[in-house]
Chains A and B, each alone.
Chain A
């Protein structure tokens, strides 16, 4: 009886996930295969003529191979800013959690205000200009890292509080300095939460639209989300090319997910049990 109900639930879950994930994705693929006029109907139908290859070629060639530049830029942006977030957030969270001091209240307040206070565009640009980082990928990496850091610190702090202090003490007794204590003892223990942070923040940074739009102007600086606007404008949208572009920029994260699927799931579930 119990087993029957369980398999029932499983089937329902599979059907729901088909509707939520596979139907939209197949719609993207179908529309990407159509010609412009047919795609304009936005209907869920089998294409009458196949233009997938033409569409792909056109999308890649648009505006001097902007998509290729954009994929490189987005990869560098995502990898670098997520690396900064993971490293800095883990360090901050470790110190905040393990060493109580009178500054903790203020630091916690600053971390929280990073979550609460919305970022302002013009002052941020002014700061970047002052540092000579405006219109550079480095500047945007720092912006993304700054905006994501608060959230990551909170995640890491909550996780570090579950690691027994005895682990630290044992390492210190064995002669580990503070740097080694962090990098060789604590950091590896954070694996599951690191994977969570990487997944969540990579998706956020890779899909970010407004920050690149304002902080990294210029065609040579485009990121993938900005390339969508080559085909979608206020009055006229080429749905076939737009969906082909979506398809092309969805592939890299998808491939990543397929390759690291095991680690991600293992990391998250081990985190769930521990936390």
Chain B
């Protein structure tokens, strides 16, 4: 009996240790860089926005079909600050995928490209990248990324059908815009949609107004970085905050603006209950996906300012594709990048998600049948000076609390002047953290 008990314990112990060892070793296949059929296997990390996942999978599929030496496999990561942390952690530990998709501009600058990324300056495909895109994926004249997807804008999405029904015309100045708002309000519809449950959506009035700031002073961004220009003291820059307050004061906003989500906002716009929505134009793609009937009803115009000839469009550059220096398959990864930065790459992107904006690869033309909102964007892009980059591409400073401040201004809690002052203070902390001179 005793012996029996002892042996049983021993067997149980051995078994559990064995099971543990199995678990510990059995799963440690590190995923070698070649697959069974002798192809080089590349991993490709994208964020989990449905459009970017489809884009990445479309590119990978077409690239895999175009040659027989390399296979690309897509992985996803969360977006937002979790995603930023993942990118930084994986780069710091040398565990980044062979190719990854990430923001261009200030977020790109924050991942230490010179240390972490492969330099594309002397590759043949570097010439395919449009000159306007190059600064936002370069550090000191060295190119580290190629654009993926179309450019987009921070502007005002509007419902064309309601405009037609009410006999309105696209406003060129802020006063005309307000006149339209009054008519829409009188017709019993929501003039301006605001959705503060997703706090980031509240910033568009300020960020999308930046082209007007640049129109009044082309060097504003440089002065801003050098601590010489301020939102609170420059009346043109403060206009964005004032617009938010004005919308609240005049009762243009939807009743549930405090608890509405971005999804709600897009629905209200698509159904025509609301008419104006200051938003990123990339959001219009999800209206088209969710409300195909409304696809041709959604239009865009630039955030109006004071110029009677109309304002320029504040644009955002698309994400970049990068290759980490720690990748074991740099040459194969470059072949994929070359594919993405060619007209074949844009065609593949168009096939995967449709056209969301102009491409920044040379020679990439848009098909004739683009969605209505893209059709509205093109005249701005085709005109000299019709577009201006957003502030985040010209200055490394973007205060982390802007969205909280704009929510407070748009909800009538803080005045525009007070909000602008708070944002200047918020920005100061960040500039000091970045170690900029003059702060």
Chain A contact residues, CB within 8 Å of chain B: 36-37, 40-42, 63, 76, 80, 83-84, 87, 121-122, 125-126, 129, 132-138, 141-142, 179-180, 183-184, 213-214, 217-220, 229-230, 232-239
Query: Does B25 have its Cβ within 8 Å of any Cβ on chain A?
Result: yes
CA distance A121 to B87 in the complex (A): 13
Nearest-Cβ distance from residue A225 to partner chain B, whole angstroms: 11
Interface size classification for chain B: 35 or more
Q: Closest residue to B197 on the A side, CB-wise?
A: A42
B75 near A180: Cβ-Cβ < 8 Å: no
A184 near B9: Cβ-Cβ < 8 Å: yes
Known: A135-B31, A213-B86, A236-B263. 4 other contacts (CB 8 A): A37-B290, A137-B23, A141-B24, A235-B282
Q: Which residues from B are CB-within-8-Å of A235?
A: 49, 79, 262, 280, 282-283, 286
Chain B contact residues, CB within 8 Å of chain A: 5-6, 9, 16, 19-20, 23-25, 27-28, 30-31, 43, 47-51, 73-80, 82, 85-86, 89-90, 92-95, 200, 261-264, 267, 280, 282-283, 286, 290-291
Q: Which of A138, A184, A237 has most B Cβ within 10 Å?
A: A138
Known: A233-B48, A236-B50. A214 touches B78 (CB 8 A): no
A233 near B47: Cβ-Cβ < 8 Å: yes
Nearest-Cβ distance from residue B209 to partner chain A, whole angstroms: 21
Q: Which of B74, B92, B263 has most A Cβ within 10 Å?
A: B263
CA distance A183 to B9 in the complex (A): 8
A121 near B264: Cβ-Cβ < 8 Å: no
B49 near A233: Cβ-Cβ < 8 Å: yes
> Of B50, B262, B291, which contacts A37 at CB under 8 A?
B291
B90 near A217: Cβ-Cβ < 8 Å: yes
> Of B48, B73, B286, which contacts A230 at CB under 8 A?
B48
Q: Closest residue to A238 on the B side, CB-wise?
A: B50
CA distance A87 to B24 in the complex (A): 17
Nearest-Cβ distance from residue A75 to partner chain B, whole angstroms: 11
CA distance A160 to B79 in the complex (A): 46
Q: Which of A83, A218, A239 has most B Cβ within 10 Å?
A: A218
CA distance A41 to B43 in the complex (A): 37
Q: DSSP majority for the B interface?
A: helix
Nearest-Cβ distance from residue A26 to partner chain B, whole angstroms: 21
Q: Closest residue to B80 on the A side, CB-wise?
A: A234
Ordered nearest first, which 7 A-B pairs have the shortest CB separation?
Answer: A138-B24, A234-B79, A136-B28, A137-B27, A233-B49, A125-B93, A40-B263
Q: Which residues from B are CB-within-8-Å of A80?
A: 19-20, 23
CA distance A36 to B85 in the complex (A): 30
B79 near A230: Cβ-Cβ < 8 Å: no
> Of B82, B267, B286, B291, which contacts A236 at CB under 8 A?
B286
Q: Which residues from A are CB-within-8-Å of B282?
A: 235
Q: Which residues from A are CB-within-8-Å of B280?
A: 235
Known: A37-B267, A40-B267, A235-B286. A141 touches B30 (CB 8 A): no
> Of A87, A129, A180, A230, which contacts B6 at CB under 8 A?
A180
Q: Which of B49, B50, B90 has most A Cβ within 10 Å?
A: B50
B76 near A134: Cβ-Cβ < 8 Å: no
Q: Which residues from B are CB-within-8-Å of A36?
A: 290
Q: Which residues from B are CB-within-8-Å of A233?
A: 47-50, 78-79
> Of A37, A42, A138, A183, which contacts B28 at CB under 8 A?
A138
> Of A122, A218, A234, which contacts B89 at CB under 8 A?
A122
B290 near A122: Cβ-Cβ < 8 Å: no
Nearest-Cβ distance from residue B116 to partner chain A, whole angstroms: 14
B23 near A141: Cβ-Cβ < 8 Å: yes
CA distance A217 to B47 in the complex (A): 13
Q: Closest residue to B20 on the A side, CB-wise?
A: A80
Identify 20 residue pairs between A and B in the complex whose beta-carbon atoms are under 8 Å apart, listed by A's number: A36-B290, A40-B263, A41-B264, A121-B85, A129-B95, A132-B28, A133-B24, A133-B28, A134-B95, A141-B24, A179-B9, A180-B5, A184-B5, A214-B86, A214-B89, A230-B48, A233-B47, A234-B79, A235-B280, A236-B263
Q: Which residues from B are CB-within-8-Å of A214?
A: 85-86, 89
Q: Which residues from B are CB-within-8-Å of A125?
A: 89, 93, 95
B283 near A126: Cβ-Cβ < 8 Å: no
Q: Which residues from B are CB-within-8-Å of A238?
A: 50
CA distance A170 to B75 in the complex (A): 59
Q: Closest residue to A37 on the B side, CB-wise?
A: B290
Nearest-Cβ distance from residue B277 to partner chain A, whole angstroms: 13
Q: Which residues from A are CB-within-8-Å of B85?
A: 121, 214
CA distance A80 to B51 in the complex (A): 37
Nearest-Cβ distance from residue A194 to partner chain B, whole angstroms: 15
B48 near A135: Cβ-Cβ < 8 Å: no
B27 near A136: Cβ-Cβ < 8 Å: yes
Q: Closest residue to A35 on the B side, CB-wise?
A: B290
Nearest-Cβ distance from residue A89 to partner chain B, whole angstroms: 15
Q: Which of B9, B25, B89, B291 has most A Cβ within 10 Å?
A: B89
Known: A83-B16, A136-B28, A235-B262. A229 touches B78 (CB 8 A): yes
Known: A80-B23, A135-B30. A218 touches B290 (CB 8 A): no
CA distance A126 to B94 in the complex (A): 10
Q: Which residues from A are CB-within-8-Å of B75?
A: 217-219
CA distance A147 to B90 in the complex (A): 21
B82 near A213: Cβ-Cβ < 8 Å: yes
A218 near B49: Cβ-Cβ < 8 Å: no
CA distance A141 to B82 in the complex (A): 22
> Of B9, B20, B48, which contacts A180 at CB under 8 A?
B9
CA distance A252 to B291 in the complex (A): 35
Q: Closest residue to B73 on the A side, CB-wise?
A: A219
Q: Which residues from A are CB-within-8-Å of B50?
A: 233, 236, 238
Q: Closest residue to A132 on the B side, CB-wise?
A: B28
Known: A133-B28, A138-B25, A229-B48. A63 touches B95 (CB 8 A): no
Known: A229-B76, A235-B49. A121 touches B89 (CB 8 A): yes
Q: Which residues from A are CB-within-8-Å of B86?
A: 213-214, 217
Q: Which residues from A are CB-within-8-Å of B93?
A: 122, 125-126, 129, 134
Q: Closest residue to A77 on the B side, CB-wise?
A: B23
Q: Which residues from A are CB-within-8-Å of B51?
A: 236
CA distance A238 to B19 in the complex (A): 39
Q: Closest residue to B270 on the A side, CB-wise?
A: A37
